[in-house]
Structure 1
Amino acid sequence: MTQDFYQTLGVSRDASADDIKKAYRKLAMQYHPDRNDGSKQAEEQFKDVSEAYDVLRDPQKRAAYDRFGMAGLKGGAAGGYGFHPFDLSEALSMFMRDFGNMGGFDAFFGGGQRGRRARQRGQDIRVSLRLSLEDIAHGTTRKIKLKTLQQCKRCEGSGAESSSSTRACQTCGGVGEVRRAQQSLFGQLVSVTTCPSCNGDGTVISQPCEECRGDGRVRAESVVDIEVPPGVARENYLTLRGKGAAGPRNGPPGDLLVELELEDDPRFERHGDDLIYNLQVAFSQAALGAEFTVPTPYGDEKIDVPPGTQSGTILSRHGKGLPNLNSGKRGTLHVHVQVWTPAKLTPELRELFERLSGLEGDPPEEDSIGRRIWNRMKEAFGA
């Protein structure tokens, strides 16, 4: 069963960012592995609340989730966009990043022996992708070239020329943070700051890698496959987790954020999952009936205009619109019939229409569609 992120955190769907953060902190402290003696159930709950917080704290992810549910994050397609449930290391890393620097926090968990500070994350990368109506209807996979910071192959991302040239930082003892305790009227206060000697990494390099000069990254080109599910809209975006720039010295990579640019198709108007197509029909075809070929995102479609069709009539073809991003169900193609009259008449056409005018009965009632067509006909024929 798919979890509801709002229910997981115990907040309403209109909860503020501050309410979401408070709810997450309370639940994360309740289910933190250090407080539950290795309980697997508590570990799973800790990961669940961390995953919910990761989505709801991000305005873009939250908007996508509110609009499309999990499909807005996964894309409703195999493999999704790189979105996956949190593992324990990710959940712990996020918790310590957001709340780990609070004074006296370690004592809450009965220790003070925290692990090394989380390594710096790589930058997110934003790209734009243009899509045609057919791409939206069928979904598509695009390959794009990115020139980004990637892991240095020479040192395997460590930044060191050899393993022997890396040692624990003597200033922080390999923790990556420096703590200072001082007494106050309210008791002991503990301040935690990033170690100035190792910049929070916990290690120092005596002999940097000659290729990356100690950063663990080099700029290189790569090819990324972007899977676009059917039914995306202009306000959608895709997030490919871990496809951004590499982090320095084996830090976690950033994300690839794909902004979708939808090309306008002059043949159609889009309204959600439905499409509108304007079909121009001659007066004689509307009166006698005719068969037409109309375009759809899935190929041409035959459609019958029955005899006596009035201008403004809408003929619908269910299942010929665009697929819904969540359900995959296709919308409707609405064919809007527009009856036109010729602007200029040949002598032969004028004679035919004059004969027709004498054979026709009373015109339709005032303000009807047919009445408006009748008036246009009279004006065109000089009647």
Structure 2
Amino acid sequence: MNDDYYDLLGVSREASTDEIKKAYRKLARTLHPDVNPDPEAQDKFKKVSQAYETLSNPDRRRQYDMGGGPGMGGFPGGASFDFSDIFDMFAGASGMRGRGQGPTPRQRRGGDVLRRTQVSLRDVVFGTEQEVSFRTAVGCDRCQGSCCEPGTSPKRCSNCSGSGHVQKVAQSLLGQMVTMAPCPVCGGHGDVIESPCTQCSGHGRVPSERTVTVRIPSGVEDGTRIQLRGEGEVGEADGPSGDLFVELSVTDHDVFVREGSDLVTRLSIPMTAAALGASIPLETFDGERVVEVEPGSQPGEEITLKGLGITPLRRATRGDIRVELDVKIPTRLDEEQRDLLEKLASVRDEEKPAATSGRRGHTMFGKLRDRLRER
């Protein structure tokens, strides 16, 4: 018993062509073999497709309505069946159609460039500008990025008529399927360069050495990357340029070490300066400053010089310089020096220092005297 095509599509006999097409697309979304692997669904899809092919064609529909009956359509007989109406419902077909909508531009974005450069700690404190040189691609000055010899221009591809794609027909169980592919003659561009530029070989760019001035802000850290947009490689065929990334390497300093926004240094002073106090000059990045050592300063104590450190990124307040005191105790004394220290120990009643818990119980002079007596 033959199926009624109108019943298969779920439309009335007075349905318009658009209504028939809409009904078919709705059924195809659920019955197509790529969506529904059920054998019964596949069988029904064939019948629905046959019904659609017949009723969507005015002549075949007229013959069917006049009693021509099922089988008037070309699907079962192996004639061509155009699935373009449902291609964009499935990923593979929609991707091919998308690529065939127009030629591919020759222009391509240029690549990014990474260069490394060294900066000093002084540059980190105040910021600086530095020139960075690198090998890259620049626009061709002969063809101005057109890729053609001066006086010539690309010609429309005769193989694809400038569309950039060609049709391919493949046989399948459901009939003939039409797909799109890039034109093999023009590479999908839609035109052909018959006279490429002799300077850039038809690429629109040439290798060259460039020098760029990089502004390095204060507060950068080792490994910081600075991005300069549009300063990288020029793209092919005058395409947009890539970016330049400059990675910073901060060199070690002889005096200071960075800790956050502070600069830290160690100041070695004699035992007498720690005991009596002293004013000691220190060369900083802002010029010479005086470190005031208070009488009785202990080893490891810190003295802060405000506002002479680093200005962190995106902040306006500079850090400090922290000076750690390293008190040097003499290891060799002559007789006069020893007598003086022993007299001082006697005056301070430190000839026999009392033991206290922990190493910090010894006074500075008591430790010095013990060390001398051990010799």
Letter in 2 for 1:225: T
Matched, 1:233 2:221: yes
- What RMSD, in angstroms, separates the aligned Cα atoms of the two structures? 3.5
Taking the TM superposition and a 5 Å limit, the aligned residue runs for 1:99-138 are 104=94, 116-117=104-105, 119-138=107-126
Q: Distance in 1 between matches of 2:128 and 2:120?
A: 10
Compute the displacement of 1:270 (Å): 1.8
Taking the TM superposition and a 5 Å limit, the aligned residue runs for 1:184-199 are 196-199=184-187
Of 149, 160, 179, the residue aligned with 1:161 is 149
Contact 2:268 2:327 in 1 (8 A): yes
Contact 1:152 1:217 in 2 (8 A): yes
Matched, 1:262 2:262: no
Letter in 2 for 1:242: G
Compute the displacement of 1:278 (Å): 0.6
Is the radius of gyration larger for structure 1 or structure 2? 2
Q: 1:275 to 1:176 in 2, by over 3 A?
A: farther
Contact 1:117 1:177 in 2 (8 A): no
| Corresponding residue of 1:309 | 297
| Corresponding residue of 1:359 | 347
Greater shift in the superposed pair: 344-353 or 131-140 = 344-353
Of 298, 308, 317, the residue aligned with 1:320 is 308
Q: 1:155 to 1:330 in 2, by over 3 A?
A: same
1:137 counterpart SS class: helix
Q: 1:318 to 1:113 in 2, by over 3 A?
A: farther
Compute the displacement of 1:211 (Å): 1.4
Taking the TM superposition and a 5 Å limit, the aligned residue runs for 1:279-298 are 279-298=267-286
Deviation digits for residues 180-201 of structure 1 (CA, Å, limit 9, x no counterpart): 7989999x99977655444454
Compute the displacement of 1:268 (Å): 2.1
Q: TM-score, normalised by structure 2?
A: 0.64
Contact 2:103 2:165 in 1 (8 A): no
Letter in 1 for 2:369: K
Compute the displacement of 1:309 (Å): 0.6
Unaligned runs of 5+ in 2: 1-90
Compute the displacement of 1:315 (Å): 1.3
Deviation digits for residues 264-291 of structure 1 (CA, Å, limit 9, x no counterpart): 1132222222221111111110111101
Contact 2:97 2:179 in 1 (8 A): no
Matched, 1:371 2:362: yes
Deviation digits for residues 15-65 of structure 1 (CA, Å, limit 9, x no counterpart): xxxxxxxxxxxxxxxxxxxxxxxxxxxxxxxxxxxxxxxxxxxxxxxxxxx
Compute the displacement of 1:156 (Å): 0.5
Contact 1:103 1:189 in 2 (8 A): no
Matched, 1:331 2:319: yes
| Corresponding residue of 1:26 | none
Contact 1:169 1:204 in 2 (8 A): yes
Q: 1:202 to 1:107 in 2, by over 3 A?
A: closer
Q: TM-score, normalised by structure 1?
A: 0.63
| Corresponding residue of 2:132 | 144
Letter in 2 for 1:280: S
Count of residues in correspondence between the two structures: 281
1:311 counterpart SS class: coil
Letter in 2 for 1:229: P
Matched, 1:214 2:202: yes
Deviation digits for residues 186-239 of structure 1 (CA, Å, limit 9, x no counterpart): 9x9997765544445454211111211211112222221111111111131111
Of 236, 252, 256, the residue aligned with 1:248 is 236
Letter in 1 for 2:239: G
Q: Distance in 1 between matches of 2:170 and 2:364?
A: 89
1:331 counterpart SS class: coil
Letter in 2 for 1:371: H
| Corresponding residue of 2:16 | none
Unaligned runs of 5+ in 1: 1-100
Q: 1:181 to 1:336 in 2, by over 3 A?
A: farther
Contact 1:133 1:265 in 2 (8 A): yes
Q: Distance in 2 between matches of 1:224 and 1:166?
A: 34
Matched, 1:278 2:266: yes
| Corresponding residue of 1:381 | 372
